[in-house]
Chain A
Amino acid sequence: MHSDSIATNSSNIIPMASSNAKDFAKKKRVNRSAKLKQCKLDARREQWLSKVNKCSSEKEDSNGVRVLGPLSKAGNVQGRAMEKLEIRPRGEEENHGLHIHHYSDSESPSNSPMSHNGSILGGNDSGTTFTGSSRSSVSSSRSSSSSRSGGSCSGSMSEEDEEGDDECLDDWETVADALAATEEKHKPDDHSLDTDTASESKDVAHGDSHPDDATGAAPDDDLKAKPENGISLDRSTVKCRAWRPDDVFRPQSLPNLSKQYSFPMNPERYFGCGGSVWGCKNVRPAPTSCPICYEDLDYTDSSFIPCSCGFKLCLFCHKRILEEDGRCPGCRQQYKNESGKVETLLDGNSLAFRLARSCSMVTRS
């Protein structure tokens, strides 16, 4: 879908993109180390942020296109790497910039956050409106090149996502802003396409890149909450099957889309890989309270069936019984695999999720 439309105006983009491949690799490496640092030294986030801001303003300056940022030239390594990176899209943008910008904004859901990003970044950097549009052209040109070489829609989608994220890591906080502010609806579409069409290895790599991004994200001073939301949204859609509706760690900014994904999946019914344990649950009438202590069963308790006879009880009573004779109250048989039962059940659950996901990918592609 991208390749067709972009091919009309991107004839000179592709060589540029490929000629800068080494720079990208270098840039990536720099980014990776920066990301690692980020993970370890989360306390220095603010410092890093200001550094990035300096860099962005500096590269504008050195290109001579537009100097709007009040910050001086920092001239460090990172800035130079970014400068090299930015030359290509900027030069390209002078030719096609307006057209591509407009195009990507309207066409691709994954590109539009970038262009939105531009406006927000401009606001943060006291008016560097230019970087935003250049970023969008970066991603659009990248997508066009990859789709050209790959020749498949899935390749273009995943690669674009991956690299676009990687590339904009330095401005990730703005990406997060944009995601949180405007793209909550676009994102799921993007990822559903992604997971449907992308191959497994790409998806793994994709999933790997996101937590890095998330930890590397430096929220703005004034928009601290929003970037976090955007990040968690992003992560959750990548690993969307992992969230259950009542998951404790499930971000509260995920009202609908996670449910949309998890409910149709219904791993208990269609992917009862947990074995008879999950099958039993649907057959037996589920008691609402523990038959031992008469306390109400919560979600964990009601999905907890420690014995093959199907007798349910709450985790507290189960633990208590294990401390004594360790026999199931329902059938008087000794509990098998006593201690690790809860963990294996939960693992089985997530396994079911994972399998469900890979199954869908296999069938689609």
Chain B
Amino acid sequence: MATMNSESSNNSNTAQTRVPVSSKQPLQTAKSVDTQSVLKRLQSELMALMMSGEEGISAFPEEDNIFCWKGTITGSKDTVFEGTEYKLSLTFPADYPFKPPKVKFETGCFHPNVDVYGNICLDILQDKWSSAYDTRTILLSIQSLLGEPNISSPLNNQAAALWANQEEYRKMVEKLYKPAS
């Protein structure tokens, strides 16, 4: 599954190979006292997420590692991303939720605040993180970020420049969109 994803997204091969290594590493060292509480938190989040049945977002842990989740978001209606679906990887640190998870696009996303490696520039994933956030709110935030980018601090300057022209932008999105199979 992971290998298929990395093959399909050809513009971020180096990032894809790095992700599993960096995500497995903290798990091995995360034998601290509050591992149990992190586990409980993540399990509860998973339950809540599955019970909520939120439209347009979903997430589930990788088969053997609850610290590494795969999520999907779909582009909201009436945005240039409508009809597209994006896969993301979420890697939770051992001191989650006091520290934010690392979230990356696995599917290439032409967006002013997403770089070619899938890194996301979103304040709540960095300095504006709050332990009250969870996977659901993260995914919803990213979903709304798609339709409302922050043009003033872009990671993808081309996308930021093109954002003003929504029709052209839509064409660019469709052109670059390579759905995960």
State the A residues within 8 Å of B (CB): 291-295, 311, 317, 320-321, 324, 327, 329-330, 332
A210 to B168, CA, bound (A): 86
Q: Say whether A321 contacts B131, CB under 8 Å.
A: yes
Q: Say whether A292 contacts B97, CB under 8 Å.
A: yes
Q: Say whether B44 contacts A332, CB under 8 Å.
A: no
- 22 sampled A-B residue pairs with Cβ under 8 A: A291-B132, A292-B41, A292-B97, A292-B98, A292-B131, A293-B40, A293-B41, A294-B40, A294-B41, A294-B44, A294-B45, A295-B37, A295-B40, A320-B98, A321-B98, A321-B131, A324-B98, A327-B130, A329-B131, A329-B132, A330-B130, A330-B132
Residues of B within 8 A of A321 (CB): 98, 131
Residues of A within 8 A of B128 (CB): 332
Residues of B within 8 A of A329 (CB): 130-132
Q: Say whether B37 contacts A332, CB under 8 Å.
A: no
Interface residues as binary, B71-102 with A (CB distance below 8 Å gives 1, 0 otherwise) = 00000000000000000000000000110000
- The residue of chain B having its C-beta at the shortest distance from the C-beta of A293 within the complex is B37
State the B residues within 8 Å of A (CB): 37, 40-41, 44-45, 97-98, 128, 130-132
Residues of B within 8 A of A311 (CB): 132
Residues of B within 8 A of A291 (CB): 132
Residues of A within 8 A of B40 (CB): 293-295
Q: Return A71 CB to nearest CB of chain B, in Å.
A: 62
- The residue of chain B having its C-beta at the shortest distance from the C-beta of A291 within the complex is B132
Residues of B within 8 A of A317 (CB): 131
A320 to B94, CA, bound (A): 14
Residues of B within 8 A of A293 (CB): 37, 40-41, 97
Most buried by B among A292, A294, A329: A294
Q: Say whether B98 contacts A332, CB under 8 Å.
A: no
Q: Say whether A292 contacts B44, CB under 8 Å.
A: no
- The residue of chain A having its C-beta at the shortest distance from the C-beta of B128 within the complex is A332
Besides A293-B37, A330-B130, 15 more A-B contacts (Cβ < 8 Å) are A292-B98, A293-B41, A293-B97, A294-B40, A294-B41, A294-B44, A295-B40, A317-B131, A320-B98, A321-B98, A321-B131, A329-B130, A329-B132, A330-B132, A332-B130
Q: Return B69 CB to nearest CB of chain A, in Å.
A: 16
Q: Return A285 CB to nearest CB of chain B, in Å.
A: 16
Q: Return B48 CB to nearest CB of chain A, in Å.
A: 9
A181 to B135, CA, bound (A): 60
A364 to B47, CA, bound (A): 55
Residues of B within 8 A of A294 (CB): 40-41, 44-45
A320 to B41, CA, bound (A): 15
A25 to B32, CA, bound (A): 65
Residues of A within 8 A of B131 (CB): 292, 317, 321, 329
A311 to B132, CA, bound (A): 10
- The residue of chain B having its C-beta at the shortest distance from the C-beta of A331 within the complex is B130
Residues of A within 8 A of B45 (CB): 294
Residues of A within 8 A of B44 (CB): 294
- The residue of chain A having its C-beta at the shortest distance from the C-beta of B42 within the complex is A294
- The residue of chain A having its C-beta at the shortest distance from the C-beta of B97 within the complex is A292
Residues of B within 8 A of A295 (CB): 37, 40
A320 to B131, CA, bound (A): 11
- The residue of chain B having its C-beta at the shortest distance from the C-beta of A325 within the complex is B98
A362 to B128, CA, bound (A): 51
A292 to B41, CA, bound (A): 8
